[in-house]
């Protein structure tokens, strides 16, 4: 099991629409923050100074949007080098990305599923190793939501595990994506969760989704977290130990106190499971 994490506790994504309000708030439940590095590369002036105030106030992790690790086009090494420079500038040690692709000759502006094939495992793992060599840091890949599985030769869980093992990289565990995919692709979310490489987790994501239909959920990051997803997060902690977890909210923002209440709920579940695990250890050593 991972003994040290790059951050701790409960986190919240820093969004530009919320920066002014966040700057005036205590943000008591928030232990760390996350941004997409692409949104901050080369940003100076007042906005850059405001960002620096946050990176001095909180530990940060970077969650990329456009690395396009599964793309048929060449790896964007210039982007990776720019991200490394930004990480060095702000003292950020953790960079994560989606196990997807979003570009070929141009950007698609959506995260597309990589075919679950043996060939894709080797291709993606090689590109992840290239990124880690440039960054001089490990990268964590996120299990992504998807709505079709073209050219599928292996299961989603086998694909994820094979890529992470071959690349020798880490895992960003997105609990909501597991739940969404489990409904859309009809599998048991708890069984899937327990099959993931828990010793590779660096932190987790939790978010809200849209109920299009009973058998179709859409990963939006624009709604409150659903009860079934909260329950799955608790199971993840029980299975892998309590890991840092961040609330993703990208639009349709509620009042700040409601947003912070969801971050506090992460913390409450972490505390609850931590106490339970300590009690179990005391009994076993009794």
| Alpha carbons 283 and 137: distance in angstroms, whole number | 39
pLDDT for res 111: 64
User: Which residue in 83, 102, 78 sits closest to 41, CA to CA?
Assistant: 83
pLDDT for res 1: 37
Q: Which residue has the tokens 């003994």?
A: 3
pLDDT for res 73: 81
pLDDT for res 279: 87
Instruction: Give the pair of three-digit tokens for residue 265.
Output: 């709920």
| Alpha carbons 78 and 75: distance in angstroms, whole number | 9
| Alpha carbons 211 and 220: distance in angstroms, whole number | 10
Q: How far is CA 39 from each of CA 11, 16, 34, 79, 143, rounded to the nearest angstrom?
A: 19, 10, 12, 12, 22
pTM exceeds 0.85, yes or no: yes
pLDDT for res 101: 64
Domains present along the chain, CATH in parentheses = 10-284 (3.20.20.150)
- The ranges of the chain with pLDDT < 70 are 1-3, 101-111, 286
User: Which residue in 10, 65, 77 sits closest to 36, CA to CA?
Assistant: 65
pLDDT for res 286: 64
Q: Which residues contact 225 (CB under 8 A, 6 or more apart)?
A: 176, 206, 207, 208, 247, 262, 265
């Amino acid at each position: 099991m991972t003994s040290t994490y790059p951050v701790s506790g409960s986190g919240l994504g820093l969004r530009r629409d919320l920066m002014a309000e966040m700057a005036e708030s205590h943000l008591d439940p928030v232990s760390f923050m996350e941004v997409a590095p692409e949104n901050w590369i080369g940003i100076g002036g007042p906005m850059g100074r405001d960002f620096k105030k946050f990176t001095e106030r909180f530990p940060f992790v970077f969650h990329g949007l456009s690395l396009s690790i599964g793309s048929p086009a060449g790896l964007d090494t210039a982007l990776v080098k720019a991200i490394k420079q930004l990480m060095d500038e702000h003292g950020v040690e953790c960079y994560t990305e989606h196990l997807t692709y979003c570009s070929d000759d141009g950007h698609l502006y959506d995260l597309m599923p990589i075919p679950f094939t043996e060939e894709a495992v080797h291709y993606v793992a090689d590109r992840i190793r290239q990124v880690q060599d440039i960054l001089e840091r490990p990268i964590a890949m996120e299990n992504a939501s998807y709505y079709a599985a073209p050219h599928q030769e292996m299961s989603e869980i086998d694909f994820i595990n094979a890529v992470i093992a071959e690349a020798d990289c880490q895992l960003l565990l997105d609990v909501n994506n597991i739940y969404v995919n489990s409904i859309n692709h009809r599998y048991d979310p708890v069984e899937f969760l327990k099959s993931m490489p828990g010793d590779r987790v660096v932190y987790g994501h939790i978010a809200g989704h849209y109920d299009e239909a009973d058998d179709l959920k859409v990963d939006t990051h624009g709604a409150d977290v659903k009860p079934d997803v909260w329950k799955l997060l608790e199971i993840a902690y029980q299975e892998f130990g309590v890991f840092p977890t961040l609330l993703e909210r990208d639009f349709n923002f509620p009042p700040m106190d409601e947003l912070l209440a969801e971050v506090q709920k992460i913390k409450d579940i972490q505390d609850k499971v931590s106490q339970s695990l300590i009690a179990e250890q005391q009994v076993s050593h009794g």
